[in-house]
Amino acid sequence: MATDLYLLERIRRILKEQSITWIEKRMFGGDCFMVDDKMCVGTFRGGVMARVDPDKIPELIKKEGASQMTMAGKVMKGYLLIESEGYDSNEDLELWIKECLAFNPKAKSSKKK
């Protein structure tokens, strides 16, 4: 699926407004925003990949456009896929990024090879 450049720019703008330092990486066929060397938020399969607190999944999954993220049939603990109806407005996208940033300090970074 083609990269949504407008969505990427919206994510960059929100992170910049929050004075967040990030690194962008191309991962899983999408773009990932790394904060403190940890996956935080990104694009995936035409939507937003949100890394959130696993304890909040039951609450967050009720929001419009949100579903549990799966890869190769495996449920990805702590990750949600947000379809476009869930982040159409800037307020909605900001909410998802806020959830990702709130969990980021508790998230484990992937092991370095």
pLDDT tens column, 55-98: 999 999 999 999 999 888 899 999 999 999 999 999 999 999 99
Looking at residue 1, its pLDDT comes to: 52
45, two tokens: 């399969």
Q: Do residues 35 and 22 make contact, with C-beta atoms less than 8 angstroms apart?
A: yes
Q: Is the pTM of this model over 0.75?
A: yes
Q: Which sign does the torsion angle of CA 10, 15, 16, 22 carry?
A: negative
Full set of structural domains in the chain with CATH: 5-103 (3.90.1150.30)
pLDDT tens column, 8-45: 999 999 999 999 999 999 987 789 999 999 999 999 88
> What's the burial of 70, exposed, middle or buried (CB within 10 Å: 0-12/13-18/19+)?
exposed
- In residues, how long is the chain? 113
